[in-house]
Structure 1
Amino acid sequence: MKLQVELRRLDELGGGFDETQGGLKESDFVASGEQATCSASGLIPADYHWRARAIDEHDLASGWVEFGDNPTSATDFTVQAVTDTTPPALVQDFSASDGEDGQSTLSWTNPPDDDLAEVVVRRKTDGYPSDHTDGDLVYQDTSPTLGASVEHVDTGLTNGTTYYYAVFSRDTTGNWNDQVVEGKNADVALPAFAHVPPGGFWAEITNTPYERWRMRAEPGLSGEVVKILPEWWVIWVLDTHDDLEERDGYIWWEVRDTTDEGCQTCPGWMATRKRDGSKIYLTADPNDQNLQSILAQRAVPEEANEVDERKSLILDAILTIPRVGFL
């Protein structure tokens, strides 16, 4: 003897049971008086009705019996959808640039999850956003590309103010990944220094582990007696020693002249290096009109063929007094 069960979704029962093999499930043969069981898999979420009958070894069948004598239109059981509770992965390699004027360039890599549905960036000024609803909305993409490298420029920022950013991701089920992990989906940005006097300029540097730097610039830039070397450059050292001052995320130095008259402070001149070590800024006392005039004319060459040579500041690291971990 074996058990035969026919399953139908209620939305299929308008025409009643049809006894086709597509809805039939059967047990193995069992001895008379033993329990017979059969199973059905792959059922889609829906309301179901079922009926059963017995079949002997000669393929003779009993009549169909409805479960609990329920009418055909009654729900015998319901298959629920499996709920996805796993959020997508964090974005990776998120960074927020420092030192830009009134803005920060944000970059990251989207999660690779197949069900990725949304990516948002939030920012605050008093600490990292706690989740995808906390802070100012900076960026939103409701059709993100899986695993893509993304770049977005956040504008309208206040120079000298620290901004805390975090990126959050959501899947198609609505699960948000609200973790905040610095170095993965969170970073801090500091737009350009807010207290730089007018007339200064940035210059690129590369070597950063040293506290002294040799700086070459046009003759006359010191505002002192012009000391011109054979290569037409005045040499300074940006010396931290007791002159180190930190303001709003920048490290300031006095500018010292290191020509043949020894190391002397050049009055009125200051320099600052960004925390990330990428650039240095030279400026002058805004109340000293002579220095401001010299600074404003720094890029004016005496000869046309000297433009490329003298139009900008050039810096070379002096590999003395190494200071591991500086900045």
Structure 2
Amino acid sequence: MDSLEGRTAFITGGAHGIGRAVAASLARRGVSVAVADIDETAVCQAADELSTMTSARPFVLDVRDRAAYATVADAVEESLGPVSILVNNAGIIDSVSPSRMDHTMWDHVMGINAGGVYNGIQAFVPRMIRRRTGGHVVNTASAAGLFVGSSPLYMSGFLYHASKYAVVGLSESLRVELAHHGIGVSVLCPGPVATDIVKNAQRAHPTEAPQHSTKIASILDAAHDSLRERGVAPGVVGDLVVDAIVHDRPYILTAPEMGQQIRERTESLLAAVPSDPLVEGSADMFGTGGTRR
């Protein structure tokens, strides 16, 4: 984007942590901001703070609620103008032991972390396309969407990893498909950030879902402590996100130690690539030669 000033942004999970920091970083650059969150008190406080820098409005929203999302999208654009910056940031860190897995937890985690991202895209991206004035989408995934680690900092359970891998794949493919519309897409894959996302997620844990096993509870508690003690400040991440919007960067990463684990995963994938076609003539399907029977 040549200029951010005068644009309007919509940020989910905007009452706390990364979302609030992104909103503040955009506000300082003259962007009008709509912050959405399920926490009414906190999102109103965030909007009040942002109003000292720019035009800001709070919206109470459960990102799983598609009808409510459409209503909020209309209200945002009526009050602040057309949204050309979309930050799908709302998310939770929660999981369940494989021995206790059930559909309730799958629907809960995937509904917020993956479904909520899609609902934001559905609500705003078709409008961006119709206006033909460009735009940018940022989807918050995680380092957990790039590899499965063994330390508390990078091991959050299979449900969380599944949801974040989904957001990475969605973002990478959508970036290709939206390029000719002049709409950029970035995926934020933060390492540890000093937020209360773990505790917030624990409060949102469905009452009808299985309780955490001792192992999962210990993983989540360790993750919370590690985030608070070793995580980067949310403001740093907010500025990285704005830089990615301005320069249309595909990935936003925050921790140097992620490099080694990404490298190891990539090397494992490359080592699994067959040196020859597994079926005679199969290479033709990919335009690489071969004999067709």
Q: Which one scores higher on RCO, CA 8 angstroms, separation ≥ 6?
A: 2
Which is richer in strand? Answer: 1
Structure with max Cα Rg: 1
The structure with the greater share of residues assigned to helix is: 2
TM-score band w.r.t. shorter chain: under 0.3
- What is the TM-score normalised by the length of structure 2? 0.28
Using the size of structure 1 for normalisation, the TM-score is 0.26
